[in-house]
Structure 1
Amino acid sequence: MQKIQLATDLEFSRIVLGMWRLLDWEKTDQELLSFIKESIESGVTTFDHADIYGNHECEAVFGKVMKNQSALRDQMQLVSKCGIKLTTDKFPDREVKYYDYSASYIISQAEESLKNLETDYLDVLLLHRPSPFFNPEEVAKAFDRLKSSGKVNHFGVSNFLPLQLESLQTYVNEPLVTNQIEISPYSLEHFENQNLDYLISKKIVPMAWSPLAGGELLHPKTDKGTRALKAIKKVAQEIGESQLDKVIYQWLLMHPSQIIPILGTGKIERIKTAVASLDIKMSLEQWFQIYIAALGKELP
């Protein structure tokens, strides 16, 4: 499978596998290990985590099966995120969910992810969401310590807007390599708020979470979803493609910002389908047919 260059020493697979719902897959340790191996064999080598996924349990489940799998670790790229403090039974004293981007918390959560994932380093660490209480000097301090210690190789953000990302970049010494945002033919926010234009201008590659809009594109409950699905079906028929999810993935993949879709599936068949979407083609007009259907009006 083709790779995407995020930095001189960092490549992601063109499709990424997200671990948010890992516990829902209910796999045994051996089943999960086999699934990880099959994913890598199919070309999906980048795995997306966060410290809070599965009520802080997903990383440890993944790490348990990766223990003593150094050869396998060398074939993959591990991404994690930090900064969100949940109200959960694991932290009963917290009264509200909030964000913490102090240097001490970023470092402690990165180290916790390393421990849980049974690895010596993260390929990329992301700040999970922008915060109304955000001190970029604290973030820069954390990034410098994690980089110099060899615990994190690269850094990025998630759900940031252009000015938020640009502001942070002026403080940190390492170039930010990605912004993980919601993008799909249903979620057009980052086409409209100039975020994708900004990322192109800075040569920062976006990662797209929820590329199928949580199922809304395939099983719509809204007028917008119904319009988008109708256009997707039309394009699929025109290009002779029976699997609609492949059309959706290709819609993302062909964008000049080099969008990297993050899959949330525990089924290897769906991973192989997503990989196969790299081989289909649609025209620019067909791309716009889907965009305009979701937009609900003609372009100006």
Structure 2
Amino acid sequence: MRNVPLGTTGLAVPNVVAGMMRIDDKTDGDVRALYGAARDAGIDFFDHADIYARSLHSAEERFAEALRLSTAERGEIRLQTKAGIVREGPYFDFSYEHLVSSVEASLRALRTDYVDVLLLHRPDALVEPDEVARAFDHLESSGMVRAFGVSNHTPRQIDLLRTAVRQPIVANQVQLSIAHAPVVVQGLAANMESAPQSSVRDGGGLVEYCRIEGITLQAWSPLQGTRGGGGVFLGHPDYAELNADIDQLSEKYGVPPLAIAVAWITRHPADMQVVLGTTNPGRVTDAAAGSDLRLTRAEWYGLVRAAGYVVP
């Protein structure tokens, strides 16, 4: 498992992350098997959110109840959670009261005194940076949160937060896969009027911005496409050319197709983390096989073309 920097923290973290979004209906044995497969593969970074699963904090609770980690084992792993979405609203709330109360509830659910990373979960159009700064200061000084980041934020939205927030923004979790790659391929077709991918969707140069500012990009939904209902692209007939190329590379490198999908993301020099959403231990193992696999430039760009994007 290859490690990458977590923003400017000085910490090294695995470039594949185990997402815990769908575990709240799993048995203790299921959760332990998923956790064990991750740890065996070298993954010690687990991604949560307050709103994941059937009720608030239920996935966090299921994780803690099933694993009952000792203090020593808790210290061996990184726990990341998110706050800011009021799911039943539905709306967003980056107020001091909401962020602090959400983190306190996450800590109770996870049965821990701290989380390693807190992400603001999607942008709040009504954000008041001073409120976020007050929340971050309290959460940091109390020891409840050790590092802070965002999810699905544009460069200018991050800059706005930075007008008041003094802590480094260490991560930005955004949707990215071979088949859903506007943040990566937009620049390939810059100023090409006939190429839809050239349209500015993220405020301009999100990947480049995060590289310049030392912000780790985390790729969520690494297997999701946009065709055929937006489901998984692996094996999907709407992605026949892409799957043919993936299968060829899978055979060449002796790894599962899932590993190639992961390797396309981890090949990028931005040192991204891939956030898995599977609850299948075998798929975690398969995905981890892409952590160290370095595709050639020709192979990487070939997958971009096969996904239907323009490479001039």
User: TM-score, normalising length from structure 2?
Assistant: 0.86
Alignment partners' CA distance in 1, 2:85 and 2:159: 21
Structure 1 stretches of 4+ with a deviation exceeding 4 A read none
Equivalences for residues 116-135 of structure 1 within 5 A: 116-135=109-128
The answer (yes or no) to whether the contact 2:4–2:272 under 8 Å persists in 1 is: no
Corresponding residue SS for 1:50: coil
In 1, the alpha carbon distance for the partners of 2:3 and 2:110 equals 23
More helix by proportion, 1 or 2?
1
Structure 2 counterparts to residues 189-268 of structure 1, below 5 A: 189-191=182-184, 192=186, 193-213=204-224, 215-220=231-236, 222=238, 225-237=239-251, 239-241=252-254, 243-268=256-281
Asked if structure 2 preserves the Cα contact closer than 8 Å seen for 1:60 and 1:117, the reply is yes
What is the DSSP-based 3-state SS (H/G/I as helix, E as strand, rest coil) of the residue aligned with 1:60?
A: helix
Task: Tell me if structure 2 keeps the 8 A contact 1:30–1:65.
Answer: yes
Q: Larger relative contact order (C-alpha < 8 A, sep ≥ 6)? A: 2
Mind listing any 5+ residue stretches in structure 2 that lack a counterpart? Answer: 187-203, 226-230
Q: Give the Cα–Cα distance (whole angstroms) in 2 for the partners of residues 258 and 9 of structure 1.
A: 14
TM-superposition CA deviations, 1:209-233 (whole Å, max 9, x none): 01111653213364xx334323323
Check the 8 A contact 1:3/1:14 in 2, yes or no.
Answer: yes
Matched, 1:2 2:16: no
Matched, 1:142 2:142: no
The equivalent residue for 1:276 is 289
In 2, Cα distance between equivalents of 1:159 and 1:189: 13
Match of 1:184 in 2: 177
Contact persistence 1:217–1:226 (CA under 8 A): no
Cα displacement (A) at 1:37: 3.4
Structure 1 residues 281 and 2: alpha-carbon distance in aligned structure 2, compared to 1, 3 A threshold: closer
Partner Cα distance (2:292, 2:95) in 1: 44
Superposition CA RMSD, Å: 1.9
One-letter code of the match for 1:245? L
Equivalent residue letter for 1:264 = G
Map of 1:73 onto structure 2: 74
- On the 8 A contact 1:177/1:204 being kept in 2, the answer is yes
**Is the contact made by 2:37 and 2:282 (CA closer than 8 Å) also made in structure 1?**
no
Matching residue of 1:90 = none
Q: Is the 8 A contact 2:222 2:262 kept in 1?
A: yes
Using the TM superposition, give the Cα deviation of residue 30 of structure 1 relative to its aligned residue in structure 2, in angstroms.
4.0
Determine if contact 1:83/1:129 at 8 Å carries over to the other structure: yes
In structure 1, the gaps of 5 or more residues are 88-95
Rounded Cα–Cα distance in structure 2 between residues aligned with 1:150 and 1:279 = 34
Once the two structures are TM-superposed, the CA of residue 172 in structure 1 deviates from its matched residue by 0.6
Q: Is the 8 A contact 1:66 1:73 kept in 2?
A: no
Amino acid at match of 1:13: P
